[in-house]
Amino acid sequence: MGAVLGIAKMVAVRLALAAATIWAVATLVFFGMQMIEGSYIDVFFPLATPEQKAQLTAEYGLDGSAVQQYFGWLRAMLDGNFGTSLVTKEPVLDELVRRLPLTLELGVLALIIIALIGFPLGVLAGLKDKSRLSQTGRVGATVMMSIPDFVLGSFCVWLFSVYGLGLKAGGWVPISEGLGANLQHALLPAIVLSLTGLGLILATARSGVLQVRGQDHVLAAVSRGLTPGTILRRDILRNTLIPVLTLFAIIAGYLLGGAVLVETVFNLDGVGRLLAKSIGQRDYPVVQAGVILIAAVFVLLNTIADLLYAVIDPRIGGR
């Protein structure tokens, strides 16, 4: 009973903390964007007279003090109104929601690739210490973490668009129009997006296994004559899983940022590319809402990971 209450309390605290973080980001971004030199009007209507500029400012709702705008903006957001894009004149929420499935699909595919390929390879490299495989794993992980997403992306776009190797580099077909066609377009950007995370998981799983292997409980299990399969499952994998899980939350956040670059390279119309484009165009409403959306997704992922720990490792819940 006490444990259940403890967990309920921890969930409540974590959720409150998550909400506070998202609010802090929103506030920071709002006042940060207020400090930008040269307003939207100056950038888009550089030839307008001061009177015309004043009129345009009122028209776009950019008048009033920063504090007034801030509270108006917060209230509107709580009502689900994220404003209107200054560039396309469409509701910001529509613009973001329309692009979200693409970005999420890329992220999920990349996570699946990382989990299915990076983790087993890392464990294998850790088990076969001092072998050529292990050394290749170490250098390979560093190589993967050293090639920027957009460099590998550019290479793949060139390779696959010039030589037509089956997968499509650029363009998008939603899942609703057939999984095969969808994957044909999604796989290449997802692989590029997964590379850094793949390297990170490989290195972490490898060093995790290396560390656990030398510990007393593994040696004891060996001396008791347990089969290698049992030792791997019972003693090694379970203890490697916790650092790897932490890393997954970090990687998920990294993928959100990486998506900006990958979507730009592959010319995909996702949330990331919209955000980068909007920063360049000073489309404040889209930038503010986009940053808040990404921060919210990331904070929620971290909260879930923290709560998962408490379930896996009872010692953490007790604190």
Partner 1 sequence: MRRLSKALGPTATVSLGVLVVMVLIGLIEAFLPTAEFKAVASGPRRMAPGAEYVFGTDNLGRSVLARVLEGIRLTFIVSAASVLAAALVGATIGMVAAYRGGWADTAIAMTTDVLFAFPAMILGLIIAAIMGPGTLSAVVAIFFIVLPTMIRVVRSATLSIVERDFVTAAEISGASAARVLFVHVAPNIAAVTVVQMAYLLSIGMIIESGLSFLGLGVQPPASSLGALLRENSAFLTVAPWMVLAPGAVLSLAIFCVNFLGDAARAVIEPSHPRPLT
**Which range, of 112-120, 187-195, 212-220, 290-298, touches partner 1 by CB under 8 A?**
290-298
Cα–Cα distance for residue pair 169/38, rounded to 1 Å:
37
Cα–Cα distance for residue pair 54/62, rounded to 1 Å:
9
* Minimum distance from residue 309 beta carbon to partner 1 (Å): 16
3-state helix, strand, coil in the chain (%, to 5): 80, 0, 20
Calculate helix-pair angle for 238-265, 284-312, nearest 10 degrees.
170
* Minimum distance from residue 159 beta carbon to partner 1 (Å): 9
Judged by CB under 8 A, the chain residues 142 through 181 that form the site for partner 1 are 142-143, 145-151, 154-155, 157-158, 161-162
Q: Does 250 bind partner 1 (CB under 8 A)?
A: yes
Find the distance separating the first CA and the last CA of the chain, reported in whole Å.
16
- CA 70 to each of CA 89, 282, 292: distance values in angstroms, whole numbers, following the listed order: 20, 17, 14
- Per CB under 8 A, the list member of 202, 212, 282, 310 interacting with partner 1 is 282
Residue 106: name the closest of 246, 306, 270, 304 by CA: 270
**Which range, of 60-68, 78-86, 139-147, 304-312, touches partner 1 by CB under 8 A?**
139-147
Residue 95: name the closest of 244, 278, 232 by CA: 278
Q: Does 257 bind partner 1 (CB under 8 A)?
A: yes
Residue whose CB is less far from partner 1, 41 or 260: 260
Query: With b meaning 16 or more CB within 10 Å and e meaning fewer, what string describes 277-287?
Result: bbbebbbbbbb
**Which range, of 2-10, 65-73, 137-145, 219-227, touches partner 1 by CB under 8 A?**
137-145
Q: Does 258 bind partner 1 (CB under 8 A)?
A: yes
Tokens representing 46 are 């550089």
**Which range, of 65-73, 79-87, 226-234, 259-267, touches partner 1 by CB under 8 A?**
259-267
The contact set with partner 1 (CB under 8 A) reads: 21, 24-25, 28-29, 32-33, 35-38, 138-139, 142-143, 145-151, 154-155, 157-158, 161-162, 203-204, 206-207, 210, 243, 250, 253-254, 256-258, 260-261, 264-265, 275-276, 279-280, 282, 287, 291, 294-295, 298-299, 302
